[in-house]
Amino acid sequence: MFDTMTMTKALGGFCGAFLIFLLGGWAAETIYHGGEGGHGDEHHAQGYLIEVEGAEGEAEAVVEEVDFATVLASASAEEGEGLWRNCRSCHAIENGVNGTGPSLYGIVDRPVSAADGFNYSGALVAVADVWTAENLNSFLENPKGFAPGTAMGYNGMRKVEDRANLIAYLDSLDD
């Protein structure tokens, strides 16, 4: 059944198929990745330039800085209450009740290390003396950036409106 000639034919067929496979891979690589950078020198950017009549030069993106005090003045404590749900896993809003984080009751305009029975990290005490609305805004935006080395494991709240609403809610608690 398997004599020498049959084995030679099977091995030759396998080698031929493998050679065709390698040559096909080489040809595809040459066709689709022609050039040093993968697309050749003539291909610098992907896309089309659309000329607009009356447009002079390139338009620059306008990024407006929003004044936090203006946003805070129109903040909604009711919307901030909904945002509070993300904080309550570590913080409490009852006076004197600490969780993983300190109690946030009366935190606006309170000294940084004022929560009794809570051991603050040195990073927080070093960057601010009082939790003003502006300090809270900066901390909530990027805790690790505001106070490098803080023990708070929260990545931050990106929208300035959300931060203002949350601060307005926290400020309304001690009324």
Mean pLDDT of 125-135: 89
What CA–CA distances, in Å, run from 93 to 7, 64, 88, 146, 166? 82, 34, 8, 23, 12
Q: Is the pLDDT of residue 155 over 80?
A: yes
- pLDDT tens digits, residue range 50-106? 777 776 655 555 555 678 888 899 999 999 999 988 888 889 888 888 888 888 899
- Which pair of structure tokens corresponds to residue 84? 């509070």
Q: What is the pLDDT of residue 67?
A: 83
pTM above 0.75, yes or no: no
Q: Is the pLDDT of residue 142 over 80?
A: yes
